[in-house]
Amino acid sequence: MAWVLIVIAGLLEVGWSIGMKFTEGFSRFWPSVFTGAGIVASMVLLSYAAKTLPIGTAYGVWVGIGAAGAAVVGMLVLGEPATAARIFFIVLLIVAIVGLKATSGH
């Protein structure tokens, strides 16, 4: 169950990190509300997952999902550059996430 929570928390991190782009420095009300709610929900799920997972693994996977996901969404939705180097490093993040899962002992 902890792995499900950490994946959901990571996906929420993707949502709130992209949401920050739309808050315009937290000056727009509804985007700011949704972004803040995503931050809180993501942190709560991370904390529940960390009850049973090693914190280094839980946090690393959470950050990795968020970073890779935000980069992919940025390229696909926000028109950010999709260079070979960026894609290579996103793949490395995914490999690191899988490696952390594989070596966590859970």
Per-residue pLDDT of the chain (106 residues; tens, 9 = 90+): 999 999 999 999 999 999 999 999 999 999 999 999 999 999 999 999 999 999 999 999 999 999 999 999 999 999 999 999 999 999 999 999 999 999 988 7
Scanning the chain, the segments in alpha helix (DSSP H) are 2-23, 29-49, 55-76, 84-102
> Can you tell me the distance from the alpha carbon of 20 to that of 106, in angstroms, rounded to the nearest whole number?
33
Q: How many CB atoms lie within 10 A of CB 21?
A: 14
> What are the sequence ranges of the domains in the chain?
2-102
